Amino acid sequence: METLNQERPGNLKAAFYLTFTLFAFSSIEIIANPVRHDVPPMLMNFWRFLIGAAILLPALLYRRYNQLKQLQGSDMIKLTLLGCMNIILAMGAHSLCIKYAKASTAAILISANPIATNFFSWLILKEKMGLKRIFSLVLGATGIVLIAARADGAVDTLPGVIAGIFSMSGFGLYTVLSKKMVQKHGGLLVLVMSCVPTLVIYLPVLYFFDQGFWPPAHSWPNLLGMGIIGTGLGYLTFMKCLEFLSAGRTSYLFFFKPAVAMFLAWAFLGESISRSAIFGTILIMTGIISEISRATATKPPVTA
């Protein structure tokens, strides 16, 4: 199967994709926070992606049915491995972070994934790692250390912070490995068809860890919000971004998530914002602004 011919969208549409992805992903921790102690992390993660895949499946069948029939066994293996990396490992760890850390902390840590994305882009895709790029990543890493250093048993537990760092690294690797798959099959197909087999694999995992299957009735509004907005539509626009931007550049928008997430956590959850969190966030965002400036100065926008 040949790579799809992806055209770069207009500026307005591209801005919408980036902006919606930012706000959708920033809302996940805020929506999940009220029921984080009522729904086991793995079960919450399962339903989040099941709902997200379910709302996108009809669109996939309508728009890509012929392409679905052309998928080969090797394609499905790659999509399944990609889904397991994201849903079970990266987002599974993120669910643990949501449970054992503040919503703003979980959001800040996952938003630092461009550090991992750029590292894996250098390691796997052989992208150049100049001094300015290294400086940007060091700033971001320093911000993460500051955020992790303020963990305590009352608000942020060390296991929660460690889970957040693991999730950040896993999602960075997922972003890099998704790029070629999205170019070949399109974002909608990659998203749904990596979710479906992974969710089937997830069922015995839930049983083995005694996570149950049906969440409490009062948690459904939160799960639907996470599934529809934060996962289904959010991941779809994220994949759309990958169709016309490089993996590294698409990941840049996450560095702007901390400010949005901390504001949402303060506005809707009444969470306080410590000085170290603010300073760490400033360092992370400074790192990405520096990297954006470097990338813009060295090469034109990458198109698929």
Structure confidence at residue 302 (pLDDT):
36
Give the residue ranges of the chain where pLDDT is below 70. 1-11, 104, 144, 147-155, 244-255, 258-259, 271-274, 276-277, 284-285, 287-304
**Alpha helices for 33-72 (secondary structure H):** 41-69
Integer Cα distance of 224 and 213 in angstroms: 15
Percentage helix, strand, coil for the chain under 3-state DSSP, each rounded to 5:
80, 0, 20
Per-residue confidence (pLDDT) for residue 295, from 0 to 100: 52
Residue 38, pLDDT score: 92
Burial annotation 65-85 (CB, 10 A radius, 16+ → b, else e): eeeeeeeeeebeebbbebbbb
pLDDT of residue 289: 64
Is-contact 202 88, C-beta < 8 A? yes
> pTM of whole model > 0.75?
no
132 in a structural domain: yes
Number of domains in the chain: 1
pLDDT tens across 270-300, in order?
Answer: 766 667 667 777 776 676 666 556 555 554 4
- Pairwise CA distance, residues 180 & 171, whole Å: 16
DSSP 152: B
- In-domain check, residue 3: no
The domain in which residue 74 lies consists of: 11-297
Provide the pLDDT for residue 2: 47
Cβ neighbours of 278 (radius 10 Å)? 14
Task: Give the per-residue pLDDT at 301.
Answer: 40
For residue 6, being part of any structural domain is answered with: no
